[in-house]
Amino acid sequence: MTSADELNEQRDAEQSVAQVSERNDGNDGIDAGEPAASQTRESAVTIPAGTVVLAATPIGNVGDASARLVVFLERADIVAAEDTRRLFDLARRLGVYVNGRVVAYHDHNERDKADGLLDQVETGATVLVVSDAGMPTINDPGLAIVRRAIERGLPVTCAPGPSAVLDALALSGLPTDRFCYEGFLPRKHAERVQYLRTLLGERRTIVFYETPHRIADSMDDLLDAFGPNRPMALCRELTKDYEQIRRGPIGEIRQSVIDDPPRGEMVLVIGGASSEEAEAAAPSTLSVEDMAVLAIDRALEDGLRIKDAIAQVVQEHPLADGSLANRKQVYAAVLEIKG
């Protein structure tokens, strides 16, 4: 695989097509022949020295790139990118020359690289953090450097922009005054079922991410958890030419997924529970013996170890005072039931 350093060395050749004239070193990154509007754009954007900048990138339509993103790409001292190849491709499509040093910054190395990047921030460098699509830290790298910057007392700011979560929420037709974002659904069936059970009484609109190879199974589990009539929207290819929003009750959307499997990563928006649904889903107080019976059934149904099933049941059914039952007592009751 080509390293970030090698990509930096190839940058002049890769990006030269986007340049309209030779660069004048005295113009602080602005082409000598660049239009006045572009120069005005750059002068209107402040480049904060000694700062970490999180910048949102387009989620599908390159036209959604903000003027601030363009200027930061051109003038940041260091650009920490989730995928350096995709960064250079975005720069090419935007007609942007990335002047700063580009480094790979992804899930597998972000903790190790955070302090090194922040050392540069302490010397006055502007470090731009970008992910492949959307805002860093939202299901993407970035959280480690933000936390370390806060711990070290270094400034962090954002250049906001496209958001699949907010786009899907706005297009869903479901209430937007209160919502919760739950990230990707768990990959494994048993974990996904358990996770959805914890959301049965959620009154807010719920937003998930899902992938095409898991969407059919996830829709089955959503149907089992919330029933066929809970309203939802399945949003795919957001901002692209083939953007599609499927709206309707869960039962209908599940059938549409079977009949016409959607492609591309998607956002699922689920309507919140009604007052009656929330009340029915409220945790009830069970005795230790009842919890033991429920744990045995859960273990058989979901293929769990009995200790894992006990942990789930205890968490789902707090005692009257809000505390959790003693797992050892529940386990002892299980052994007694099994004889």
DSSP per position, 119-164: HHHHTT-EEEEE-SSB-TTSSSS-HHHHHHHHHTT--EEEE----H
Task: Write the CA distances from 125 to 52, 198, 264, integer angstroms.
Answer: 9, 44, 37
Any idea what the Cα angle at residue 261 is, between residues 260 and 265, rounded to 5°? Answer: 135
Non-local CB neighbours of 193 within 8 Å, separated by 6+ positions: 221, 224, 225, 302
Tell me the two tokens of residue 213: 């190879």
What's the pLDDT at 247?
98
Quickly count: other Cβ atoms within 10 Å of residue 126's Cβ: 21
- The total number of structural domains in the chain stands at 3
What is the extent of the structural domain holding 303?
283-338
What tens-digit pLDDT sequence spans the chain (339 residues)? 445 555 555 555 455 434 433 333 333 333 333 444 455 555 567 888 999 999 999 999 999 999 999 999 999 999 999 999 999 999 999 999 999 999 999 989 988 999 999 999 999 999 999 999 999 999 899 999 999 999 999 999 999 999 999 999 999 999 999 999 999 999 988 888 888 888 988 999 999 999 999 999 999 999 999 999 999 999 999 999 999 999 999 999 999 999 999 999 899 999 999 988 888 777 666 789 989 999 999 999 999 999 999 999 998 887 765 578 899 999 999 999 988
Q: Do 129 and 26 share a structural domain?
A: yes
| β partners of residue 54 | 129, 158
**Do 158 and 10 belong to one domain?**
yes
Domain boundary among 280, 313, 329: 280
CATH number for the domain spanning 214: value is 3.30.950.10
Same domain flag for 75 and 132: yes
10 Å Cβ neighbour count for 218?
22
Residues 155 and 199 in one domain: no
Same-domain pairing of 247 and 287:
no
What residues contact residue 263 under an 8 Å CB cut-off, 6+ apart?
A: 212, 236, 237
Verify that 29 and 111 share a domain, yes or no: yes
At 125, the amino acid letter reads A
Say how far apart CA 269 and CA 234 lie, in whole Å: 7
Q: Are residues 210 and 257 in the same domain?
A: yes
* 212 and 174 in a common domain: yes
Same domain, 223 and 300: no
The verdict on 9 and 136 lying in the same domain is yes
Residue 324 parent element (H or E): none
**At 117, which amino acid appears?**
L
- Residue ending a domain, among 162, 185, 215, is 162
Domain boundary at 247, 280, 313, which?
280
CATH number of the domain bearing residue 55: 3.40.1010.10
Q: Are residues 155 and 19 in the same domain?
A: yes
Q: 0.75 exceeded by the pTM?
A: no
The phi and psi torsions of 234 (rounded to 5 degrees) equal -110, 115
Q: Do residues 320 and 244 share a domain?
A: no
Residue type, 102: V
Assess contact for 324 and 314: CB atoms under 8 A. Answer: yes
Bridge partners of residue 232, in order along the sequence: 248, 270
